[in-house]
Structure 1
Amino acid sequence: MAKKKEVTNQDILGFYIDYFLENNKAPHSVYKFAKQYNFEEAVFYANFSSFEQIEKTFFTSLFQQTMSLLEKSEDFESYDARTKLLSFYFTYFEMLTANRSFTIALLKKDKNKLKSLSKLTDLRKHFKQFFDTLEIEKIDLKQEKLIEFQEKTMSEMAWFQFLFTLKFWIEDTSLSFEKTDIFIEKSVNTSFDLMDIAPLKSLIDFGKFMWQERSSFKM
């Protein structure tokens, strides 16, 4: 009998992608899956609890690879928030494109869209944590609860934008997915323009001035 292979979680992820694309479905059992790729079943459970966890790990693995590439760039830390988010999008979707067949098969495997979205729950946490690190200027609301609500709302809206971009990419039929690149640039720029608080701050300052000088305007 051939000696069982020593494999890593990335090896198992690679085996799973290979099996899924070859058979257009998940393996029937962990036992048969491990046997086919010549490693111990216990090794699988030392790395993953189920095939569903592998599917979640696929998306977070691409996230970690994306961040690793971005952080290797000497310029990345000096970028403003808008450029950092654009860099993330372009890099992450480039990796998705390199794994397009598996990504689409994975997200379209379940007719229940909520079940498909459940594969992205771990990615959602990582993405929102990354978004929260971006130095986006916020309105000084003074009250702690309002500040927390503002931060949660912004990161949640950013996640919805990501999902919308993912849907656009899945349906994109343009060469080299150039329309997705245009969509990313325009949608991120638009969202930052809408988050630009300078005009709102000017309006608030003007309101404060008018309130302080209200006695001068009595008829």
Structure 2
Amino acid sequence: MAKKINFNKQSIISEYSKIILESGKRPSSIYLFCQHLKVEESQFYQFFTSLEQIEQSIFTTFFESTIKLLSDSEEYNSYDAKTKVLSFYFTYFEQLTANRSLITYLLHEDKNQLKNLKKLSDLRSHFKHFIEELALEPIKIPQESIEKIQQKSISEMAWIQFLMTLKFWIDDTSPSFEKTDIFIEKSVHASFDLMDLTPLKNIIDFGKFLWNEKVKV
């Protein structure tokens, strides 16, 4: 039996992670996990109702830690939206890298990738809320083809970009995952460039001006 620990949400996550890293597999049941923790199942259910919830909480715990680290920085509060997103990515993936063995296990545990992605469902909600709080709004241009693109949620598109970054990081074999850093910087810059439609708007306005002038003549 393991040494009795202080029983709270964080200690449950820590012990669960430790079991995975040391044994290479998750506990087979809540009952056996509680035996390891030396607690009754009823105590466990005060914090979680399944082992899957623990796994989801691992990702959100890193998110909460990232947000706290950023919020505690005076400089962060003065950043523009793009710099805040970059800061989030670099800080979050720094924490993932520090726990890479655990993260890669969780995201490859099941052969069904949809089940693995389900572990990110809570993180998805937190991340989308983070993006929405930045109040990112593309410039509205009254053109049907562009409006269709703009109808898609910015936060949902940002989440897809996050998943792409996560996949790149998992597959990255470069020293210190330096290629992931490059991927983050280039993808975030590219996504903000896509939202900044000012050059296109200027071209359209100029075209309208020339058309109007031509008609007048």
TM more than 0.5: yes
- Specify every segment of 5 or more residues in structure 2 that has no aligned partner in the other structure, as ranges: none
TM-score of the superposed pair, with normalisation by structure 2: 0.89
RMSD, aligned α-carbons: 2.4
Residue 132 of structure 2 aligns with which residue?
132
Q: Which moved more, 1:168-177 or 1:189-198?
A: 189-198
Note closer, same or farther for the CA distance 1:208–1:133 as it changes in structure 2 (3 Å cut): farther
1:166 positional shift? 0.5
Whichever residue aligns with residue 185 of structure 2, its letter is E
Tell me the secondary structure at the aligned position of residue 46 of structure 1: coil
Following TM superposition, the consecutive aligned residue runs of length 4 or more in structure 1 with deviations greater than 4 angstroms are: 2-6, 146-149, 210-214
% same residue: 57
Name the structure 2 match of 1:72: 72
Residue number in structure 2 paired with 1:185: 185
Q: Deviations over 1:71-97 (max 9, x none)?
A: 000011211111000000000000001
Equivalent residue number for residue 114 of structure 1: 114
Task: Judge conservation of contact 1:89–1:184 (CA < 8 Å) in 2.
Answer: yes
Please say which of residues 99-108 and 35-44 is displaced more in the overlay: 35-44
Matched residue, 2:205: 205
**Of 82-91 and 148-157, the range deviating more from structure 2:** 148-157
**C-alpha deviation, 1:135, in angstroms:** 4.0
Between the two proteins, the alignment pairs up a number of residues equal to: 213
Q: TM-score, normalised by structure 1?
A: 0.88
Tell me, yes or no, if structure 1 residue 20 matches structure 2 residue 9. Answer: no
The letter for the 2-side match of 1:191 is S
**Given the alignment of the two structures, is residue 172 of structure 1 paired with residue 178 of structure 2, yes or no?**
no
Q: Is the 1:4–1:40 contact (alpha carbons within 8 Å) kept by the matching residues of 2?
A: no
Aligned partner letter, 1:11: S
Alignment of 1:134-153 (within 5 A): 134-140=134-140, 150=150, 152-153=152-153
Map 1:34-53 onto structure 2 (within 5 A): 34-53=34-53
Q: 83-92 or 151-160: which moved more?
A: 151-160
Structure 1 pair 3–36 and aligned structure 2 pair: CA distance change class (3 A): closer
CA contact (8 A) 1:5 1:39 kept: no
Superposed CA deviations along residues 51-76 of structure 1, whole A, max 9, x for unmatched, are 00111111111101000000000011
